[in-house]
Amino acid sequence: MNLGNAARDPQTLEQVTAAHEAGGRILFRGATVVSMDREVGDFDRGDLLVENGTIAAVGADLSEAAADGQAVVVDATGTVMIPGLVDGHRHCWQSQFRRIIVDIALDEYITVMHRELALAYEPEDSFAGTLLAATGAIDSGITSVLDFAHNARSPEHQNQAVAAWRESGVRAVFGSAVPMFGEWNRAFREDVTRLRSEFFSSDDALMTLRLAVAPKVLPDVAGDLSFTSSTAEFARDLGIGLTLDAVFGPEVGEEIVALEKEGLLGDDLTWIHCNELGGEAWKALAASGGRVVLAATSDEQLGCGGGRPPIQEALDHGMMPALSIDVECSLTTDMFTQMQVTLNTQRMQSFQAEMKDEQTVPERISVKDALAFATIGGAKANGVWDRCGSLTPGKRADLVLIGSDDLNNMPLNNAVATVVLGAETRNVDTVLIDGAPRKWGGELVGVDEARLRQIVTESRDRLLERIGRELRVTADAPRFMELA
């Protein structure tokens, strides 16, 4: 059955959904394929076969896979096919407050989000923010997200966040974390153990679990849930990885060196931000096999760790970084922006070094490097590299079709540059996660947008009322210009 281009044929989604649910074959034909796998290669015009939710084959011509008439054939002409983008770190509970606090610094973010709003959250608010973040991720071509859920005030708060991920269908990595301030469930370890047993018993399921913690040198809001030998032992006994946020400054760098001497570093650790750590700490991280997640937009806009993302430090130590959204209350929702900012920042620093005739001029990264950070790097940082991050036969079918015939992308002259520098959320035509269609022909699948809008708006309004703040969407005037 050749059902034509996904964006134009109304029967395609129904047929593909039925094939997926039956464990059948779906053959995408005629896309420009960027596999992010050197052995597979890329194809100016190529095919990809999905069978039972798994990538079965990638090649220039897989028409034989449909010769028996049993495969659903999708004409993907006019698109660039890439692996699903991977977000290495986002605080999803905050998403009903998108862009509510901007033009601020990190301390102001902490005051508003963590000292005020976070304390007012009920479980249904955790559900609302998480579901909005998950839906926005799919819409923008992100198929896997590490949710650093640091507002777990009770078991029910955690249950509701998990319920949102389950409803969304995203390949979620749930980073269970205690709140920074206020009252919360002090039996947190017992609850993480419960989550592991109740929701995350399988390590290769669509949703997996990590422990999300902070370095010891940060304000001790989490007791022994900061990263200590006890915390490491707890997570490793559960068989889950650890992700550490707010990793910036020389003090954290000194802690990393001390942790190495204690033998606590390992390849099951992922480190976020990593600003101004110092050379010895970077050597320790690289030697440990751990992963690094950059947060370029939040570093630069909020001033995290001095405001300079450590892109070059990671590269100089042979570490492929991941990219991340961080906080939608102040920043963007999509990964295209993260790729562009990371690319432009590193290249700007290299050009500056060259202009100043510095002794060492860093090699400038390419658009392919930026895409690798947003796919391969993210999948490795989230602990899901065996399932996604590249279009490799045997991996699960997490893939995205980008409209290359769209007005802002045509004519297609460079596939990777079109994805990294040209594409926007509106160009994300099709998203498959675990083989299931989650966006098709530019429309989200199975999402009641009216319900979602009501849920998140009501949650936002309730929370603002609880803390006594009034929403004024035009309140902030530009600082350095007069309004007519």
Q: Which two structure tokens, joined as six digits, stand for 267?
A: 């390849």
In a shared domain, residues 38 and 125: no
Q: pLDDT-based confidence at 391, cuts 50/70/90?
A: very high
In a shared domain, residues 7 and 126: no
Is residue 449 included in any domain, yes or no? no
* Total domain count, the chain: 2
Residue whose pair of structure tokens reads 């990595």 in the numeric block: 173
| Domain's final residue, options 429, 444, 459 | 444
Give the closest residue to 174 by CA, choosing from 201, 146, 134: 146
- 3-class SS of residue 56: strand
In a shared domain, residues 125 and 201: yes
In a shared domain, residues 173 and 271: yes
Is residue 39 included in any domain, yes or no? yes
- 3-class SS of residue 311: helix
In a shared domain, residues 302 and 329: yes
Q: pLDDT tens for residues 13-38?
A: 999 999 999 999 999 999 999 999 99
Is residue 146 included in any domain, yes or no? yes
| CATH number of the CATH domain containing 294 | 3.20.20.140
Q: pLDDT-based confidence at 447, cuts 50/70/90?
A: very high
Domain containing 167 equals 85-381
Are 25 and 361 contacting, i.e. CB atoms less than 8 angstroms apart?
A: no
Bridge partners of 269, per DSSP, are 242
In a shared domain, residues 353 and 406: no
Q: Give 262's contacts (C-beta < 8 A, 6+ positions apart).
A: 229
Q: How far apart are CA 167 and CA 178, in angstroms?
A: 23
pLDDT given at position 9: 60
Is residue 450 included in any domain, yes or no? no
* Backbone φ and ψ of 262, nearest 5°: -80, -10
Give the closest residue to 243 by CA, choosing from 83, 87, 434: 87
DSSP-assigned states of every residue in 412-434: PS-HHHIIIII--GGGEEEEEET
In a shared domain, residues 303 and 358: yes
Mean pLDDT of the chain: 94
Are 268 and 241 contacting, i.e. CB atoms less than 8 angstroms apart?
A: yes
- Among 3-12, 44-53, 199-208, 380-389, where is mean pLDDT lowest? 3-12
In a shared domain, residues 371 and 406: no
In a shared domain, residues 316 and 426: no
In a shared domain, residues 209 and 191: yes
Q: pLDDT tens for residues 37-74?
A: 999 999 999 999 999 999 999 999 999 999 999 999 99
Q: Which two structure tokens, joined as six digits, stand for 73?
A: 């054939």
Is pLDDT of 186 > 90? Answer: no
In which region does residue 441 sit, left (phi positive, over 0), alpha (psi from -120 to 50) or beta (all else)? Answer: left
Q: Give 19's contacts (C-beta < 8 A, 6+ positions apart).
A: 25, 26, 71, 72
Are 62 and 27 contacting, i.e. CB atoms less than 8 angstroms apart?
A: yes
In which region does residue 53 sit, left (phi positive, over 0), alpha (psi from -120 to 50) or beta (all else)? Answer: left
Count Cβ atoms below 10 Å from residue 121 Cβ, excluding itself.
25
Q: How far apart are CA 402 and CA 397, in angstroms?
A: 16
Q: pLDDT-based confidence at 11, cuts 50/70/90?
A: low
Is pLDDT of 5 > 60? Answer: no
Is pLDDT of 477 > 80? Answer: no
Is residue 26 included in any domain, yes or no? yes
In a shared domain, residues 266 and 228: yes
